[in-house]
Amino acid sequence: MKNICVVGVGYVGLVTAACFADLGNCVIALDVVEERINGLKQGKLPIYEPGLKELVEHNVQAKRLMFTTSFTEALSGTEFAFIAVGTPMGVDGEADLHYLEAAARDIAENMTGPLVIINKSTVPVGTGDWVADIIRRYQKNPIPFSVVSCPEFLREGSAIGDFMQPYRTVLGSLDPAAAEKVAQLHLPLRAPIVITDLRTAEMIKYASNAFLATKISFINEIANICEALGADVKEVAIGMGYDARIGKQFLDAGVGYGGSCFPKDVKALAYMAAEKGRHPQLLYAVMEINNDRREMAITHIKEMVGNLKGTVIGLLGLSFKPNTDDMRDAPSITIAQLLQVEGATVRAYDPVAMDVARPLLPSVEMMPDPYTLAEGCDALVVVTEWNEFKQLDRSRLRDLMRQPVIYDGRNIYEPDEMVRSGFIYRGVGRGYNVMNLEKGAGHTILPPTE
């Protein structure tokens, strides 16, 4: 059993703390926001993540997980201090490191013994060296320490599984002994451990997210071409995905990526490259394609409905992906705003994200369920691929709507089934369906051959 401190109780910090506690360690999670810590002590989590509440409660009851706002308490007898604070995006794409700087300074001022400081936050390349300088500068007395980079690869909605069954653990440090200590912490996960230097580890995180974002933008570009040529992007993606060199994941065409990682990390990597005189043209294209997806959704909806002024449009889903309430850079925000600019009244339903979405979309009416949402709508727009949307009673949905129009921004439905159910339907890059819409063929798809 090791004594661990985790600074920050957001998505990364709270999952990291709960999972290390579940592995048998003694973990104290710290946050400077008293409201968060007080809520956690009362069993109220600041975020939604499937299975996390149960995991936290179990380890609190086992006395392996505790919460505090005091660095003095958190660092007493601690061997490892993980920093998992936010690094929000600045105006030009640069990472805002003031939370990280404050955490490093507080650790330096309160550490009482040798400490391995592990950075989990996504930070610009070179930040590990900067953190080490802060620790040295603000220590009250010289105490041995090491800095290790251990970037997180957690997906919201499946974060616990990603932590407990990772593809790999990446560690970077200029101190091989410190890296080995952190590697020992991760041995119970039985995953490959990559040990490298600080800057390379930091770069692995950015390169990984930029590549995954590139896959999404690539398949969305292919979807555009499929629509023009009459091919089905879902079948194209399946055919591509069987090639092990390509893989099946992140080949889902739709209204684009969002969240706290991909938009921020791609832009930050492009910013770092430009600052050093490089021209990251592929990264610029990835971002441009993703931004275009949201505007293109409005174009497609207008092609189906006509003039949007005076219409009522319902959004199925608000969070940037299913199984989370995260609204950071969610496509729903831009889509709702663009619809309102066109003169539409917008309402929405999401299983868990509506409370988070309300202050971000104050003029969007939040509805209690999908059927109340559909009543009187001129179109429904699938923005988030929640599983419950796949199981809706289509006949009931159709009969409630003023016009039975569905724009499927996540391709969760099959076009032929939707048309047979009486809908005017359009997915993203669904070939024949789109070609028939453009030809004015009664908003249908080609019938299946007998």
pLDDT for 380 beyond 60? yes
pLDDT for 441 beyond 60? no
- Predicted confidence band of residue 448 (pLDDT cuts 50, 70, 90): very low
Which residues does 104 contact at the CB level (< 8 Å), separation at least 6? 83, 117, 131, 134, 135, 138
Q: What pLDDT score does 76 carry?
A: 95
Report pLDDT digits (tens) over 233-263.
999 999 999 999 999 999 999 999 999 899 9
Q: What is the mean pLDDT of the chain?
A: 94
Is 226 among the residues known to form the active site? no
| Residue ranges with strand state E in 275-378 | 312-316, 345-349, 365-366
Q: Which of these is catalytic: 5, 19, 226, 261?
A: 261
Q: Average pLDDT for residues 45-53, to the nearest whole number?
A: 95
Q: What pLDDT score does 92 carry?
A: 81
Report pLDDT digits (tens) over 155-193.
999 999 999 999 999 999 999 999 999 999 999 999 999
Report pLDDT digits (tens) over 298-351.
999 999 999 999 999 999 999 999 999 999 999 999 999 999 999 999 999 999
- Predicted confidence band of residue 436 (pLDDT cuts 50, 70, 90): low
Spell out the domains of the chain, with CATH numbers in brackets. 3-196 (3.40.50.720), 285-439 (3.40.50.720)
CA–CA distance, 428 with 450 (Å, rounded to integer):
26
Q: If DSSP codes are grouped into helix, strand and coil, which group holds residue 380?
A: strand
31-35, Cβ contacts within 8 angstroms, sequence gap of 24 or more: 31/7, 31/67, 31/69, 32/69, 32/102, 33/69, 34/69
Q: What pLDDT score does 438 carry?
A: 56
Q: If DSSP codes are grouped into helix, strand and coil, which group holds residue 263?
A: helix
Q: Which candidate, 156, 148, 163, places its Cα nearest to that of 201?
A: 148
List the single range of 147-156, 184-193, 425-434 with lowest mean pLDDT.
425-434
Q: What pLDDT score does 450 carry?
A: 40
Give, as one character, the DSSP assignment of residue 328.
Answer: T
pLDDT for 445 beyond 80? no
For a pLDDT cut of 90, what percent of the chain falls above it?
93
Q: Average pLDDT for residues 277-304, to the nearest whole number?
A: 97
Q: Average pLDDT for residues 99-105, to the nearest whole number?
A: 97
Handedness of CA 130, 134, 137, 143 (dihedral sign): negative
Q: Average pLDDT for residues 111-115, to the nearest whole number?
A: 96
- Predicted confidence band of residue 444 (pLDDT cuts 50, 70, 90): very low
- Predicted confidence band of residue 282 (pLDDT cuts 50, 70, 90): very high
pLDDT for 295 beyond 90? yes
Q: What pLDDT score does 434 carry?
A: 63
pLDDT for 91 beyond 90? no
Q: What pLDDT score does 343 carry?
A: 98
Q: What pLDDT score does 442 carry?
A: 38
- Predicted confidence band of residue 437 (pLDDT cuts 50, 70, 90): low
Q: Which candidate, 378, 430, 376, places its Cα nearest to that of 408?
A: 430
Q: What pLDDT score does 439 carry?
A: 55
Q: Average pLDDT for residues 81-105, to the nearest whole number?
A: 92
